[in-house]
Amino acid sequence: MSSSSSDRRLQLALVAHDAKKDQMVEWALSHADQLQKSTLFATGTTAGRINASVPDLQVTGLKSGPLGGDQQLGAMICEGKLDGLFFFIDPLSPMPHDVDVKALSRLAIVYDLPFASSPSTADFILNGLFASKA
C-alpha cells in the first residue's frame, strides 16, 4: 500500500562549501522544525557539522564531496530519490572539485529538482516544498 504524497517525508540533500558550512548549520538550526519532518542527506563534513550542532536533526552522512559525496547525491537525483537540493556555494573561493559542483547543479536542472544555492533561496524552496505537501 503506498502512502499519499502528503504522508511521505520529504527527502532533502544538504551540501555546503567549506566557507559556507557555518551558514548551512545556522540555516538548518533556524529551520529545524521543518527539517526534522524530512529525511536528510548531506555530504560528509556538512552532515557531521549539522549533526553536532543541531541535535533535533538526524542527517545521513555520505562521502565527503570531493571523495564521491557529490556523485552519491547525483545518483540519488537521477533515481528520483530527492525532493530538493540545498547546496550553499561559495562563489568567491577556488573550487578544486568545480567539475563535481557543475555536475550536481546540471543534474538538478535536468531532473527539474528544486535547487537552492543560498539561504534566501533555500527559505523559499523549503517553504514551497512544505506548502505543496499540504
Helices (H), the chain: 21-30, 32-35, 44-53, 69-78, 98-110, 119-133
- Residue 68, sorted as left (phi over 0), alpha (psi -120 to 50) or beta, turns out to be left
Q: Per the residue annotation, which of 56, 70, 100, 112 is the catalytic one?
A: 70
Is 112 designated active site?
Answer: no
Residues labelled catalytic: 70
